[in-house]
């Protein structure tokens, strides 16, 4: 079936957000006089949200109230520095240009909250290029539920069966498959050492964004 649209996960698939996430985390850790975390370590957990990100540096050192205060501080710092160093993943600009040249729609389905997703897309000049941008709170369910994927298809006026979804977490593949999309797992994304990407059930595993065009052209 001809591919009409490509959908991307955001963090670690479309955009390398780890530098700005690491900055925000380290500002929080510095306020507690705790050791700072490397961008490499942040990349391993960046896809799993603020709780996992904070626990990377804070561990269990704070009580529940203190942890929530740290989370709000993380959010505030990240919001103020959301696109200082973030950029498209290597090779992604070439891919997007190829898609646009072939009049293939592309969009984003992420679990990142709208308050962060929308400003980031605007700052990187992607908001007007994306045919749809679905955040973690756009619908009443987030990935691995298929509802955000189906919402994106309605926004683009395409059927799920003509979409390819690319992500770097198992929940991305679960959501895409539940929506009856073709799924590609991004080995170039934010993977933890124990991730078994070849066992996620994706139709393919890719090492570079340009391989997506090979899938499209094989239709």
140 is catalytic: no
Active site residue 11: yes
Output the six-digit token pair for 194. Answer: 């124990």
Catalytic annotation, pick one of 9, 20, 172, 195: 9
Q: What residues are annotated to the active site?
A: 9, 11
């Amino acid at each position: 079936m001809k591919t009409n649209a490509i959908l991307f996960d955001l963090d670690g698939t479309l955009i390398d957000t780890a530098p700005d996430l690491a900055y925000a985390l380290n500002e929080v850790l510095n306020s507690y006089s705790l050791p700072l975390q490397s961008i490499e370590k942040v990349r391993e957990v960046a896809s799993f949200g603020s709780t996992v990100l904070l626990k990377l540096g804070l561990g269990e050192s704070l009580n529940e109230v203190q942890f929530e205060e740290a989370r709000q501080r993380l959010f505030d710092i990240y919001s103020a520095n959301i696109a200082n160093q973030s950029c498209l993943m290597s090779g992604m600009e070439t891919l997007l240009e190829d898609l646009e040249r072939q009049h293939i729609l592309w969009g984003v389905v992420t679990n990142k909250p709208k308050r962060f997703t929308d400003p980031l897309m605007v700052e990187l000049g992607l908001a007007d290029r994306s045919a749809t941008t679905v955040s973690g709170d756009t619908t009443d369910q987030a990935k691995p539920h298929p509802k955000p994927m189906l919402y994106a298809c309605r926004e683009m006026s395409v059927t799920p069966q003509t979409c390819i979804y690319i992500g770097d977490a198992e929940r991305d593949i679960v959501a895409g498959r539940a929506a009856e999309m073709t799924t590609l797992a991004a080995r170039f994304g934010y993977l933890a050492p124990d991730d078994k990407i070849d066992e996620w059930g994706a139709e393919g595993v890719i090492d570079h964004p340009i391989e997506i065009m090979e899938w499209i052209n094989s239709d």
